[in-house]
Amino acid sequence: MMHRYLPNTTEDMRQMLEVIGIDSTEKLFGSIPDGVKLERDLELPHSKSEIEVRREIGEMAGKNLSADDLVCFRGAGSYDRYIPSAVKHIVGRSEFYTAYTPYQPEISQGTLQSVFEYQSMICSLTGMDVSNVSMYDGATSSAEAAILASVHARRPKVLVSMTVNPMVREVLSSYLKFRNVDLEFVGEKNGETDAEELKMKLDGSVAGLIVQYPNYYGIIEDIRGIEEAVHGNKSLLIVNTDPVSLGILTSPGELKADIVVGEAQGLGQNMNFGGPVLGFMTASEKVMRKLPGRIVGETTDIDGKRAFVLTLQAREQHIRREKATSNICSDQTLNSITAAVYMAAMGREGIREVALQSFKKAHYACRKLVDTGKFRLLHEKPFFCEFALVCDMSAAELNRRLLENGILGGLDISGAGNSDGNVMLVAVTETRTKAEIDRFVEIMGVE
């Protein structure tokens, strides 16, 4: 019956039926053959009051444990970073929180300016010329970059390093399968992209290479060596990066990347049990006109005053379908504005400090763990704030022990493409204290 799932009273239903000239809901559906009717009530629970619903949902939610409940040493793409309180207060304003597509620039100047500021800052951070606004997450931004590279170079194949996050690789496989883009993987060697295998696979069919910097193991890849080989083949270099790391690392733009993508969750976004998050996408000017999503530009109005407009939109809503790079019809504008507020609040020095603290604390934790004699680095390579440890005992058992002590341990990547036994991927951010790290090491080192 309708009253089981619609908030209509018996009197509401009577009046509606009276208006259309029938006296029962059965007659309302009289044209439907009896053979396809359920002929019984739906098995739905009895209705509850608002108080009861809130209590039940609260009990269900209480079974979750978040980074607010646990001391978090897990990363692999989503990180427990500090978010200044100003961020949520600003983006919670109705002008931002309820704003939608700014198709009418004359009444959308606030939204357009905030997006323009985001694009300007993310370009400054990555060292690139132009940014869109934006993608669902880092994985889909990588997929869109692969499609763009194939369209721009007019070549059918994209290479992807095996040191790229495996979840990103899965999304790439799904996206490209139906876009007539061939995906081929380049193996790893000692935790980095195998340069020799890359050179062997570069040929006239390769549109571009996707490499992660820092990579899945936290290692800072040698992009310069890769760049020479890729551009020597007239292919595009696509770098998937953690924007926070760029507070201290050389920007991909300086390393001659053509497209820079990644997950910007670390720029003021809560972990949110996986989403919503923010995929960013920046590029050099030469591929600007094929960039999916929206690009906001600065101009002057009829009175000569500073104004903002949607400048380029390579979407099928705005140009001919066959010329559209992507058919993405929504974006993450609120998340982009959140990132802009975070970057503005932190400034260059603040982001550098976040990156530097993460770097130093991760290296301190790594050194202390190795000193116990129970762990060794999977790869002896320079890393940012994440590192892979080979463990004497089961990583799953270590994580169980840590959880009992209120700590979310590193990601168990045992058997994930390696034969080094028990491996844990540990992340340390600026939010971790020395006492928390020491406690983590103490529990990990127990016999």
Confidence of residue 106 (pLDDT cuts 50, 70, 90): confident
Query: In the structure encoding, which two tokens stand for residue 409, read together?
Result: 């341990």
Task: Supply the pLDDT for residue 2.
Answer: 45
d(CA 275, CA 265): 9
Confidence of residue 1 (pLDDT cuts 50, 70, 90): very low
Describe the crossing of helices 166-177 and 138-153 by its angle, rounded to 10 degrees: 50
- What's the chain's length in residues? 447
Q: Find out whether 282 and 121 touch, Cβ atoms under 8 Å.
A: no
Residue located via tokens 């763009």: 148
**Ordered structural domains, the chain, with CATH:** 71-82+348-445 (3.90.1150.10), 85-342 (3.40.640.10)
Q: Find out whether 248 and 348 touch, Cβ atoms under 8 Å.
A: no
> Is the pLDDT score of 327 beyond 70?
no
- Percent of the chain, pLDDT > 70? 93
Selection from 190, 189, 242 nearest residue 381 by Cα: 190
Task: Supply the pLDDT for residue 221.
Answer: 96
HSE-CB of 387 using CA atoms within 13 angstroms: 29
Rg for the chain (alpha carbons), in Å?
26
Selection from 287, 284, 221 nearest residue 256 by Cα: 284
Who's near 41: CB < 8 A, 6+ residues apart?
1, 4
Return the SS3 of 15: helix
Express each pLDDT in 137-179 by its tens digit. 999 999 999 999 999 999 999 999 999 999 999 999 999 998 8
Q: Which amino acid does the sequence have at 361? A: K
> Is the pLDDT score of 316 beyond 70?
no
Query: In the structure encoding, which two tokens stand for residue 152, read together?
Result: 């721009």
- The sign of the torsion formed by the CA atoms of 43, 47, 48, 54 equals positive
Express each pLDDT in 275-305 by its tens digit. 889 999 999 999 998 888 888 999 998 899 9
CA geometry: angle 32, 34, 36, nearest 5 deg: 75
- Percent of the chain, pLDDT > 90? 71
> Is the pLDDT score of 314 beyond 60?
no
Task: Supply the pLDDT for residue 248.
Answer: 98
**Distance of alpha carbon 272 from the chain centroid:** 11
d(CA 224, CA 252): 10
Give the residue-averaged pLDDT of 118-125.
97
Confidence of residue 322 (pLDDT cuts 50, 70, 90): low
Q: Find out whether 314 and 281 touch, Cβ atoms under 8 Å.
A: no
Task: Supply the pLDDT for residue 324.
Answer: 64
Give the residue-averaged pLDDT of 182-188.
97
> Is the pLDDT score of 323 beyond 70?
no
> Is the pLDDT score of 409 beyond 80?
yes
Least confident span in 164-178, 413-427, 428-442: 413-427
**Distance of alpha carbon 415 from the chain centroid:** 24
Task: Supply the pLDDT for residue 243.
Answer: 98
Higher pLDDT, 68 or 363: 363
Who's near 421: CB < 8 A, 6+ residues apart?
390, 391, 414
> Is the pLDDT score of 415 beyond 70?
yes
Q: For residue 100, what are the CA distances in angstroms to 114, 298, 332, 337?
A: 13, 19, 10, 12
Return the SS3 of 135: strand
DSSP 8-state secondary structure symbol assigned to residue 30:
T
Selection from 137, 148, 146 nearest residue 330 by Cα: 137
> Is the pLDDT score of 320 beyond 70?
no
Describe the crossing of helices 395-404 and 434-444 by its angle, rounded to 10 degrees: 130
Task: Supply the pLDDT for residue 3.
Answer: 47
d(CA 315, CA 320): 8
Express each pLDDT in 356-382 by its tens digit. 999 999 999 999 999 999 999 999 999
